[in-house]
Amino acid sequence: MTPAARLGAAIDILDRVLSGAAAEQALTSWARASRFAGSGDRAAIRDHVYDALRCLRSFTAMAGAHTPSGRALILGSLRAAGQEPDEFFTGEAYAPLPLSQTERNALSVAPEAGALPEAVALDCPDWLMVPLKDALGENFTHVLQAFRERAPVFLRVNSARADVPAAIEALADDGVEAQPHPLTQTAIEVIGGARRIRNSAAYLSGLVELQDASPQAAVAALPLRRGMKVLDFCAGGGGKTLAMAALCDADYTAHDVAPQRMRDLPERARRAGVAVSIRNGKALIGQRFDLVLLDVPCSGSGTWRRAPDAKWTLTPDRLSDLVKVQAEILDGAVDIVAPSGAIAYMTCSLLDAENREQIDAFIARNPGWHCCAERMFTPIDGGDGFYSALLTRE
Ligand SMILES: C[S@@+](CC[C@H](N)C(=O)[O-])C[C@H]1O[C@@H](n2cnc3c(N)ncnc32)[C@H](O)[C@@H]1O
């Protein structure tokens, strides 16, 4: 496909996303219906789509449009990159159709990047400006700028099976270039050949797992002790369970309200060479754990580089529903943690409502509990936005 035809495909896919399709789903269904596209085409189109979704407000404004559309986003992206739209919008060989007079008029009066209002320039929904400024303080602009860029790819070295130099060497054998990352000892950043990871022997044999650096650092800070009973209550695919199990030989149980989310966990644990028991809710009755990890459902506002559509679909109502569920999960954990045990609460959000305020409200509802450690990671640290708090009884 030509560069212009790739832009044409990105426009179609963006229009589907703007009509309500999830970005991943829209990309997959386009690829299935477009067998002529090679892997390089699919990767380039994917980059166009995600770049446009990260910068939805600014690109729309730079096209002079009032509402986003696939064409406006790609026109705005070309303008932001200093490229001439007429070179690509030719209508030839699957390229986007030439610009209409209306589009030309809109472009001619569209503001320069430097003249955009703050929320537009930072690609932030208006209603989230104040909550994010409150949470991020002086880092607000820097973090919001970071959310407009692609995320680095991180791997977690499975320390139960390999050390960092051995994992980096094994990846290099399959053309994946990686380097240690300072955020935590298990994290390596992929700096070349990221598309080869899933077929590499290091990945297939469980030496490395795909996991962002921030949750790795949060897991590394947990008070894990050999032989203790650990429950990952919102285990999902089991990323945190496996990260803990690689660090410490303890007794791990995984649970999720939607057990089908854990379906790959036994195979992933086998590949990683660690043991994990999977239990449903009834099996937890009467049990007590030394550490209960709550990696709760959240807005995902720390992961907007990877899942930018979430930035635009989050609403105040959805956020308040999430806050309620998080509070219920926290309160429920009190009954399954041992008297001298701890609750580790984690979100991939940067919003105080899901983080600090949630913990303060828990402590106010549950006298005797206190927060003994808390950390918020932002993309300035290298990984995604992530929050972690450790709660113990006095
Ligand atoms: C952030 S995801 C977990 C990701 C996972 N820990 C990982 O590292 O791959 C949140 C999980 O919480 C689960 N969940 C939602 N409500 C729950 C509840 N009331 N009790 C337990 N799990 C719940 C969801 O099904 C989802 O899998």
pLDDT higher than 90, residue 281: no
How many percent of the chain have pLDDT more than 70?
100
Sketch the domain layout of the chain as residue ranges: 3-123, 153-211, 221-393
Q: Is the pLDDT score of 280 beyond 90?
A: no
**331 is an annotated ligand-binding site residue:** no
pLDDT of residue 238: 96
Q: Is 293 in the pocket of ligand 1 (CB under 6 A)?
A: no
Which range, of 120-129, 135-144, 267-276, 352-361, averages the lowest pLDDT?
A: 267-276
Query: Would the pLDDT of 135 be above 90?
Result: yes
Return the ligand 1 atom nearest residue 211 CA. Answer: 8
pLDDT tens, position by position, 103-119: 999 999 999 999 999 99
Please tell me if the CB atom of residue 297 comes closer than 6 angstroms to any atom of ligand 1.
Answer: yes
Say whether 235 sits in a helix, a strand or coil.
coil
pLDDT computed for residue 173 by the predictor: 97
Helix (H, G, I), strand (E, B) or coil at 258: coil
Q: What band does 211 get if pLDDT is binned at 50, 70 and 90?
A: very high
- Residue 329's pLDDT is 98
Phi first, then psi: what are they for 230, rounded to 5°? Answer: -120, 130
Please give the average per-residue pLDDT across 162-175, as a whole number. 96
Q: How far is the CA of 107 from the centre of ligand 1 (A)?
A: 45
Token pair for 260? 């089908």
CATH 3.40.50.150: does it fit domain 221-393? Answer: yes
Which atom in ligand 1 lies closest to the alpha carbon of residue 236? 27
Q: What pLDDT score was predicted for residue 96?
A: 97
Pocket probe mutation, ligand 1, options 156, 219, 257, max atoms within 8 Å of Cβ: 257
Ligand 1 pocket residue status of 261, Cβ below 6 Å: yes
pLDDT reported for residue 282: 86
CATH topology of domain 153-211: Alpha-Beta Plaits (3.30.70)
What does the DSSP 8-state code read for residue 253? E
372 counts as catalytic: no
Same fold, 153-211 and 221-393: no
CB 247 within 8 A of CB 224: yes
Could you tell me the maximum CA-CA distance found in the chain, to the nearest angstrom?
A: 71
Adjacent-strand bridge partners of 157:
208
According to the annotation, is 173 in a ligand binding site? no
Tell me what pLDDT residue 9 has: 97
Query: Is the minimum distance from the CB of 235 to ligand 1 under 6 angstroms?
Result: yes
Supply φ then ψ for residue 338, to 5 degrees: -65, 155
Specify the ligand 1 atom closest to the Cα of 215. Answer: 8
Residue 358 CA, ligand 1 centroid: distance in Å:
17
Q: How far is the CA of 99 from the centre of ligand 1 (A)?
A: 46
CA of 381 to the centre of ligand 1 (A): 25
> Which amino acid residue places its CA nearest to atom 13 of ligand 1?
234
Distance 256 CA to ligand 1 centre (A): 6
Closest CA to 282 of 252, 265, 257, 264: 257
329 pocket-lining for ligand 1 (C-beta < 6 Å): yes
Does residue 290 line the site of ligand 1, with CB under 6 A? no
Ligand 1 contact, 279 CB (< 6 A)? no
- Per residue in 196-210, pLDDT (tens digit) is 999 999 999 999 999
Bridge partners (DSSP) of residue 337 are 289
- Across the chain, what does the average pLDDT equal? 96
Residue 324 confidence (pLDDT) above 90: yes
Pairing assessment for the beta strands 337-347 and 386-393 based on DSSP bridges:
antiparallel
Can you tell me the mean pLDDT for 362-369? 96
> For tokens 């002790």, what's the residue?
225
Interacting residues of 190 by C-beta distance below 8 A, sequence separation 6+: 152, 153, 154, 155, 171, 176, 177, 178, 197
The pLDDT assigned to 184 comes to 96
Query: What is the tens place of the pLDDT at every residue in 44-75?
Result: 999 999 999 999 999 999 999 999 999 999 99
CA distance 310 to 299: 8
